[in-house]
Amino acid sequence: MHKKHNFGAGPCILPSSVMEQAAQAVINWGGMGLSILEVSHRSPEFEDVVLKTQLLVRELLSVPDHYSVLFLQGGASTQFAMVPMNFLSKGKKAAYLDTGYFAQKAIKEAKLFGEVALVASSKDKDYAYIPVDFNNDKQAAYLHCTSNNTIEGTEIFDFSTAGAPLICDMSSDIFSRKINITDFDLIYAGAQKNMGPAGMTLVIAKNEFLDQAKKEIPSMLDYRVFRDNMSMYNTPPVFSIYVAMLNLLWLKDQGGVNGIEQKNIEKAKLLYTEIDRNPLFYGTADVGHRSRMNVTFLAINKEVETGFLKFAADQGIVGIKGYRTVGGFRASLYNALPLSSVEVLVSAMASFEKIYS
């Protein structure tokens, strides 16, 4: 079904079997004679979808019972404000790890609600690495980090840090690898990479932590309201949740998060090996902090950059142009991208080397 090799950073490739089922449900959902787009979110059929999707999240990520699984709206960007709105007060401070563009956006919003303590930043090297040596101050309301830096192509692999409660933006690597939920007090992620289409935001949070939230919060921005209403305080993003359910069922069929992690490791290794071998390209992230989801690399000169973009496009490779702050290339290797697409990219890089030299 997919004619192009889609390396886009998000919204991104989803499995073609999921697209087909979603398309069918838009026409006639489960033989009901109704489209998924026109059923009530209060119908037992849709309530069942929400429940199943929550159970799939719990199963795939081994979420313990004392954590809630919530489906919100407003994207990860709303979480940048919602986190401090719930957990940071004037006169208190929250700790932030500055690892790139999205971490900066989270910091900007937090400053509206209280004091922000920057525990560490990798800005000195254009965010090419993840700072590891920092003090996680117990006195802070929480420590916020970004597990995968979608633009800069770096990823955190070790979350063991004792101190303040840990909050993590996992928008671009959730469901791509095994994580230990109990390392975190709250995780959030926009759905539009490995979970499903844009429109919903996943939150996984420790109940005890949610109970410490401030009291005076507008309902739509209060995690507890979503917890107490099965994520249906208002009309939820019905189609996004439905497609996420289909996508998580697909993930289960792939051997779950453990199974997909092995495939993701293989895909990333193949591409990084070619970047390191090919004299026309070089990686931007420090080797030990390279992301498996967003592979960022540069060309040795502008001519190679524009030439390769065109050469790749002619072979059906799309979405590899790097973000403007980093430049060059960014190949996103999300769960649904097959190894065969990475093979096509790697072989295009090798062919271009022959043509160019």
Pick out the residues of the known binding site for pyridoxal 5'-phosphate: 76-77, 102, 150, 169, 192, 234-235
188 or 281, CB closer to ligand PMP?
A: 188
What's the token pair of residue 139?
């006195």
Q: Which of 8, 75, 236, 322 binds ligand PMP (CB under 6 A)?
A: 75
C-alpha–C-alpha distance, residues 213 and 286, integer Å? 37
Q: Map residues 178-207 to x or -, x wherever contact with ligand PMP holds by CB under 6 A.
A: ------------x-----------------
C-alpha–C-alpha distance, residues 145 and 134, integer Å? 12
Kindly state the smallest distance separating residue 165's Cβ from ligand PMP, in Å.
Answer: 19
Cβ–Cβ under 8 Å, residues 266 and 341: no
Q: Which of 2, 34, 47, 77 binds ligand PMP (CB under 6 A)?
A: 77
Q: Which of 76, 95, 143, 295 binds ligand PMP (CB under 6 A)?
A: 76
10 or 165, CB closer to ligand PMP?
A: 10
Residue recorded with tokens 């999240």: 57
11 or 163, CB closer to ligand PMP?
A: 11
**326 part of the interface to ligand PMP, by CB under 6 A:** no
C-alpha–C-alpha distance, residues 202 and 174, integer Å? 10
Cβ neighbours of residue 282 under 8 Å, at least 6 residues apart? 275, 276, 297, 298, 300
150 or 194, CB closer to ligand PMP?
A: 150
Three state DSSP letters for 113-159: CCEEEEEEECHHHCCCCCCCCCCCCCCCCCEEEECEECCCCEECCCC
**296 part of the interface to ligand PMP, by CB under 6 A:** no
Q: Which of 7, 71, 102, 142 binds ligand PMP (CB under 6 A)?
A: 102
Q: Which of 171, 176, 231, 264 binds ligand PMP (CB under 6 A)?
A: 171
77 or 89, CB closer to ligand PMP?
A: 77
C-alpha–C-alpha distance, residues 184 and 145, integer Å? 10
**322 part of the interface to ligand PMP, by CB under 6 A:** no
The C-alpha angle 266, 269, 270, rounded to 5 degrees, equals: 85
* Stretch of 28-36, 166-174, 252-260, 319-327 lying at the interface with ligand PMP (CB under 6 A): 166-174
Kindly state the smallest distance separating residue 300's Cβ from ligand PMP, in Å.
Answer: 28
**84 part of the interface to ligand PMP, by CB under 6 A:** no
Site size toward ligand PMP, by CB under 6 A:
11
Residues annotated in a binding site: 42, 76-77, 102, 150, 169, 192, 234-235
Cβ–Cβ under 8 Å, residues 68 and 187: no
Task: List the interface residues with ligand PMP, window 143-162 (CB under 6 A).
Answer: 146, 150
Helix locations, the chain, DSSP H: 16-27, 44-61, 75-87, 101-110, 207-210, 223-228, 238-253, 256-277, 302-314, 339-356
C-alpha–C-alpha distance, residues 24 and 243, integer Å? 11
**Chain-centroid distance, C-alpha 318:** 20
Q: Which of 99, 172, 231, 284 binds ligand PMP (CB under 6 A)?
A: 172
Q: Which parts of this chain interact with ligand PMP (CB under 6 A)?
A: 10, 75-77, 102, 146, 150, 169, 171-172, 190
